[in-house]
Amino acid sequence: MGAILIDVDGTLVDSREPILESFNWAFEQMGLPTPPSEEVVKLIGHPLDQMFRSLGVKGEKEVKELVSLYKTHYLKIHLDKTRLIPGVREGVELAYQIAPLGIVTTKTRKYTEILLERLGLLSYFKVVIGREDVANLKPHPEPVLKAIDRLGVDPEKSFFIGDTCLDMWSGAGAGVTPVGVTTGYGVGELSRCAPYLFPTLPKAIEWIYRRREYR
């Protein structure tokens, strides 16, 4: 049997508002100019420290301070300002009927579980792999491999659904089938890295169901 693994930001939830607000707040607290929103959005899915470096922050001390400021603000607002992407609940419910489910994210597992509980989805997932569970984050295959190992399933019969090339590369490296959805933040690049691409999570799940490779 295989499993269906799913990313969080841009795949299950729309988290643009709390992410952008928290980035702007962190930069403002440091007296730095806020970056263009479109530049931040393109980086969602990467680790926070890497995002700040990509936005032009040079010193490691500044990066650490900005990450800390970001987290402080984000944790205050994310539960109220993160929304399920339309159709996600139906997609997860269908996936739950056909295969074991797991989460693979660069977000912190603890707060991911709190968010999914708040949104009424946590009970559908047998495993949640976050940044504290691995030494190497996506696009490294380790997060996907860890989820596969904990679920005790066959990687060749498993799928990883995400919205960025980081997800596609991580899944492919782990020997699972990567599947892209265009609901998130890597739409412009996905056509270059996703072997299978769908407009919504339910469409991706329906395709997996028809293939019946999860059995």
Tell me: do 105 and 206 sit in the same domain.
yes
Tell me: do 96 and 40 sit in the same domain.
no
Task: Please count the structural domains in the chain.
Answer: 2
Tell me: do 92 and 191 sit in the same domain.
yes
Confidence of residue 65 (pLDDT cuts 50, 70, 90): very high
Side-chain-side CA neighbours of residue 139 (13 Å): 10
Q: Tens of pLDDT along 82-98?
A: 999 999 999 999 999 99
Tell me: do 71 and 95 sit in the same domain.
no
Q: CATH number for the domain including 37?
A: 1.10.150.240
**Mean pLDDT (whole number) for 173-192:** 91
What sign does the CA torsion over 133, 138, 141, 147 have? positive
Distance CA 9, CA 116 (A): 11
Confidence of residue 68 (pLDDT cuts 50, 70, 90): very high
Tell me: do 27 and 121 sit in the same domain.
no
Q: Is residue 45 scored above 60 in pLDDT?
A: yes
Active site residues: 7
Tell me: do 165 and 64 sit in the same domain.
no
**Mean pLDDT (whole number) for 167-171:** 98
Confidence of residue 188 (pLDDT cuts 50, 70, 90): confident
For position 99, what pLDDT does the model report? 96
Tell me: do 60 and 129 sit in the same domain.
no
Q: Tens of pLDDT along 4-23?
A: 999 999 999 999 999 999 99
Tell me: do 72 and 135 sit in the same domain.
no
User: Would you state the structure tokens that stand for residue 85, as one six-digit string?
Assistant: 């992407």
**Mean pLDDT (whole number) for 148-165:** 97
Confidence of residue 187 (pLDDT cuts 50, 70, 90): confident
Question: Which of 44, 59, 81 delimits the end of a domain?
Answer: 81
Tell me: do 77 and 91 sit in the same domain.
no
76 CB-near residues (< 8 Å, 6+ apart): none
Residues 63-92: b if buried by 16+ CB within 10 A, e if exposed: bebbbebbbebbeeebeebbeebebbbebb
Question: Which of 64, 81, 98 delimits the end of a domain?
Answer: 81
Distance CA 144, CA 150 (A): 10
The percent of residues above 70 in pLDDT, for the chain, comes to: 98
Tell me: do 107 and 74 sit in the same domain.
no
Q: CATH number for the domain including 142?
A: 3.40.50.1000
Distance CA 52, CA 62 (A): 9
pTM of the model: 0.92
Question: Which of 61, 81, 101 delimits the end of a domain?
Answer: 81
Q: Tens of pLDDT along 107-153?
A: 999 999 999 999 999 999 999 999 999 999 999 999 999 999 999 99
Domain that holds residue 61: 16-81
Q: Is residue 213 scored above 60 in pLDDT?
A: no
197 CB-near residues (< 8 Å, 6+ apart): 179, 180, 181, 182, 190, 191
Mean of per-residue pLDDT scores for the chain: 94
Distance CA 133, CA 129 (A): 6
Tell me: do 113 and 55 sit in the same domain.
no
Tell me: do 88 and 138 sit in the same domain.
yes
